[in-house]
Amino acid sequence: MTEMEHTVYMLRCRDNSLYTGYTNDLEHRLKMHESGKGAKYTRGRGPFQVVFLERFSSKEEAMKREYEIKQLTRKGKVLLIRDKLKEVMNYANTKEL
């Protein structure tokens, strides 16, 4: 991969809370969260489920989006997750035809 990938993600924690973060290496970041060396918020809240992903070509775009998501209420985040899931399901259904 020549171009770095910038990812904004949301995790659902064991206590059903949502954590939003940014990374340029999602696999490594998830391992950090699982080992307790990720964000302070996620320590002791694992296991985690990735419930939302958006990828960007620049760090600036990704950081801006992360900030926007963090400003949302829990309800707003749940709606965002639901809308992304609908988008994925619609895409999957068109590919089956």
| Domain edges within the chain | 6-96
Q: What is the mean pLDDT of residues 90-94?
A: 81
Q: What is the Cα–Cα distance from 52 to 25, expressed in whole angstroms?
A: 15
pTM confidence score: 0.87
Q: What is the Cα–Cα distance from 5 to 52, expressed in whole angstroms?
A: 16
Question: Which pLDDT band holds residue 3 (cuts at 50, 70, 90)?
Answer: low
pLDDT surpasses 70 at 21: yes
Tell me which H or E stretch contains 13. none
In tens, the pLDDT along 54-69 reads 999 999 999 999 999 9
What is the residue type of 95?
K
Class of 6-96 in CATH: alpha beta
